[in-house]
Structure 1
Amino acid sequence: MSRKAREAVQDAVAQLGYVPSMAARSLAMQRRGAVVLAVSSNDPALFANLFFAEVITGVNEVIETTDLELLLVPAASDRGRDRLARILGSRGADGVMLLALRENDPLAKIAESAGVPVVHGGRSLDRTPRWYVDADNRGGARQAVEHLLATGRRSIATVTGPLDLHAGTERHLGFREALALAGLPDHRVVHADFSEAGGAAATAELLTRHPGLDALFVASDAMVAGALRTLQERGRTVPGDVSVVGFKDIATAQRTQPALTTVRQPIVALGREMTRMLVRLMDGEEPTTLILPTELVVRQSSDRS
């Protein structure tokens, strides 16, 4: 269309007060008007999990400004993956967001073979996707341990997340980097699964192996409740005997006893920016990947005064 013709059309639109029909636009662009949030988890209480609840809050903030529908698909099981493949194979959605992918996760192949825009929430260990939104997991963990060092702690241990998750590996690397820069050993480590029970069991194992530990970096707030319970059962006071720092700053972090020092992960923003990126891709734009900053929030659990 020539510039003159385009200006004529724009003038006509302005004079008629025309409002484009989203249904007609979707039909013209062969859109179904839906997007998928697929989560690589088979946890039956998935959507009661505070992390996923906050991600969905951010996703919904953007969805509500559009005429799109949101489909939530837990897809860690064969049944869930088959459902996602059917939805995408039948063109039942115009784009997909993938969350919590593990190493060699088949969800990536299912989504990327469907011919629709794909945005990843976080990264997987085996690949760096073309479009993703992530948090600075390594930098946040390093800052947490540097804070413990600044308060005089030297026998610092960690309860990691799963090391087949990019976030779990990055937080462990941040822990190791901070101790290496301080010239301290980084062997006080037990791996867990981001659950409260996992945090309790891992902390018990650390105390058995390293009874003199004086600080604990726990790689997610969900594990902290278990860690604090184990410390109390073993007669350790917090922060008197052991300082504790978590990661995420979920709503319960301020209600622990004592209130938890933690790394604030921008979880709602993660969901929001994933969705904005997907909508831009669906509109034919070329967004850039995004790594969101984290922030250390200091509360009583690491206060040595």
Structure 2
Amino acid sequence: MANSKFEYVKQFEQPDSLLPNTWIVVRIDGRGFTKFSAKHGFEKPNDKRALELMNAAARAVMAELPDITIAYGVSDEYSFVCHKTCALFERRSSKLVSTIVSTFTAYYVHFWPTYFPESPLSPPLPSFDGRAVCYPTVQNLRDYMSWRQVDCHINNLYNTTFWALIQLGGMDGTEAEKTLKVSFVAVVPGAIDLMRNEQGTYSADKNEILFSKFSINYNNEPEMFKKGSVVFRDYELVEPGTHNASMDADNLAEPIQQSKTQSENDRKRRAKARIVVEHLDIIKDDFWDRRPWLLSNKPGKVPKEP
């Protein structure tokens, strides 16, 4: 770019590089999606088409950006995780967030006709906001992911019961909300049980309402609704205990510096890997132990063809 007398305005730009050697999580959320979903007739409590559309957009983002190691989505939100060694856009927060948000939104609109062919988009169009947060340790990162999955379970159990009371029980929203008394405790394997407040009801109460009143066994609900969606690159699973990626990743005060050739080769291998969407428990160790590449950032073995 040629120099000019106007170039001084560059001095007003502020550096916004994220902390080095930390996990980066870019979390995006739908903006005004309550009205948007009502406008397009999303099914309650869950619309399978809408969730699969979110998953399709997330897969496309990961295909475009091999630096993303794993993503987790529920409802109208998605969290994209970049490894501690990520140097994409020199770790500038504004560039990372704007690229992920805009790419996700573009693919969401692009895939919309596939999942909602009978409901063409019109203003207000879908949009998303985003933010980047740094987590210094693997435990911090896993706790963040666990938090989102626990939140998925809590909200889904509540919403499933709430809408059953309305759709099957003939209540209006106020009556259903009063019955549930808003707060309740979710019992999630691997998570800390929460205390019930004075007017709250336990998750067991929600399950009892569903089963006794409507013959709905919550355990039989689709895993995507209960656990959310996990998006990652698919390599051969390893036996638990054969590789402690968490320790390897956390014991390094300074990340190992790879040559440009090594980094580019790893990037190419990640770009060629199959990206899958699963609905799994990411709170327990087994998920991470069997997929050490998620924490080590080293591509695994490509699964053999069946």
Q: Which TM bucket (shorter chain)?
A: under 0.3
| TM-score normalised by length of structure 1 | 0.26
* TM-score relative to the length of structure 2: 0.26
* Bigger relative CO (Cα 8 Å, ≥ 6 apart): 2
Max Rg structure: 1
